[in-house]
Structure 1
């Protein structure tokens, strides 16, 4: 299976036209456009199946649960929206969650929550619940914990064939190793330290969010991010990024 990997296209700021790529499935690891517009775009842009995990920017300008419902309503058999969802295509199991973060990655949880609430736009751009309030760090942390536990339990289920996790937020501090802005408690607003989920039974983890392209391994699990990012950013984006999965794992 040939998997075309893209994330952080930010079509709301600068429309992206994908290059023709021979692929069996396209994975969109979040921040494609605001609201449900990315689903319609993906349907027009690709002829093959698309697996779309929403990022944080999809939820800007509205209530998180309401926008997730809009994304699901816009989806179909060609473009599938995944959040706490499993899909099997061509003998490959895909597990998709936005993930969010638990603010624990750097070991400075209280500091991470405080600086994130001050500096991360999610707290002002996303609305939460019937009262349309601003979210709190504990709201996102609860989603992250639920995501971690769902992935842990899903990965524990036997499956004959390769398994791929798709998230928006990154699963390991290694995803920002060398990043020019890394090294502060704010790292934990972008990255989780979920390395223990990787290893036997998980072949590939695809993520976005960091605007920093990476390709590394943790305990035999390959981790890839291929973000377009914002105009002018040097993120090593490859518009034709394709990973091949065979029955034995990543080729």
Structure 2
């Protein structure tokens, strides 16, 4: 199964027309496509099915719960397959079935452990003020994000309790907006409290997937996380902001093969 992965296009401020990748069987949008949502319409009538996991900025200046419902309605209108605490099984051109497990997977701020959580929460205050999101009339602040992040983590753990290759699928692909490991941190910033607003410590879950796709970091990653059963490939193909030079060298039409298992 060949996937095209796009994220962090930020079409609310960037002028950019995405192109279908030749040979792709599915397009995965891993969030932060357009905080105003209008840019999502660019992917209507895409030549292959579109899987969409919302990013944090799809919730900017909105009530979180109302926005989730609105995004689902828009995805239905555009013909997207929206994955947000949900999963589905899809077959590729050869009939091989793949389970996709999707969640925005908000930060729980435990990337560096419980002792560093308070510092991570304080650093997150800036990002939440920029988002200006709410929930039931209250600010969607760092504490509220952590609460949502813990719900996401619990759901992912439950969904991934089933085998990576089960009776009804040959492989599992996880799609999140936030990253599952510190190894996905932006090298410009490295190991600092604010990094916990971008990466979670979901390394214990990585062995339960063959491939884990994410966005959120405005840089690219493609690495393998080794474990007892072999390794899990982690890929981020975020475009980022051209005005900051983050899109330099970005390849929007690259293909990611689900069944590619290179040697460690």
Q: Same fold (TM over 0.5)?
A: yes
Contact kept in structure 1, 2:98 and 2:171, CA below 8 Å: yes
Contact kept in structure 1, 2:51 and 2:82, CA below 8 Å: yes
Q: Which residue number in structure 1 is paired with residue 254 of structure 2?
A: 241
What pairs with 1:40-79 in structure 2 (closer than 5 Å)?
40-44=41-45, 46-76=46-76, 78-79=79-80
SS in 1 for 2:158: helix
Q: Which residue number in structure 2 is paired with residue 207 of structure 1?
A: 214
SS in 1 for 2:58: helix
- 2:203, 2:123 → 1: CA distance? 24
- 1:65, 1:123 → 2: CA distance? 18
Once the two structures are TM-superposed, the CA of residue 124 in structure 1 deviates from its matched residue by: 4.4
**CA-based RMSD:** 1.8
Contact kept in structure 1, 2:239 and 2:246, CA below 8 Å: no
Listed as ranges, the gaps of 5+ residues in structure 1 are none
Contact kept in structure 1, 2:34 and 2:58, CA below 8 Å: yes
After superposing the two structures, state which structure 1 stretch, 222-231 or 8-17, moved more.
8-17
Q: Residues 150 and 48 (structure 1 numbering): CA distance in 2 closer, same or farther, change over 3 Å?
A: same
- 2:136, 2:232 → 1: CA distance? 40
Which contiguous aligned blocks of 4+ residues in structure 1 show a shift greater than 4 angstroms?
A: none
SS in 1 for 2:43: helix
Number of equivalenced pairs: 243
Q: Which residue number in structure 2 is paired with residue 96 of structure 1?
A: 102
- The alignment status of 1:142 with 2:147, answered yes or no, reads yes
Q: Which of residues 152, 161, 166 in structure 1 aligns to 2:170?
A: 161
Q: Which of residues 209, 228, 238 in structure 2 aligns to 1:227?
A: 238
Once the two structures are TM-superposed, the CA of residue 127 in structure 1 deviates from its matched residue by: 2.7
Q: Which residue number in structure 1 is paired with residue 94 of structure 2?
A: none
Contact kept in structure 2, 1:4 and 1:241, CA below 8 Å: yes
Once the two structures are TM-superposed, the CA of residue 208 in structure 1 deviates from its matched residue by: 0.5
Q: Deviations over 1:94-130 (max 9, x none)?
A: 011001111111231000101211x21x334333223
Listed as ranges, the gaps of 5+ residues in structure 2 are 92-96
Once the two structures are TM-superposed, the CA of residue 36 in structure 1 deviates from its matched residue by: 3.6
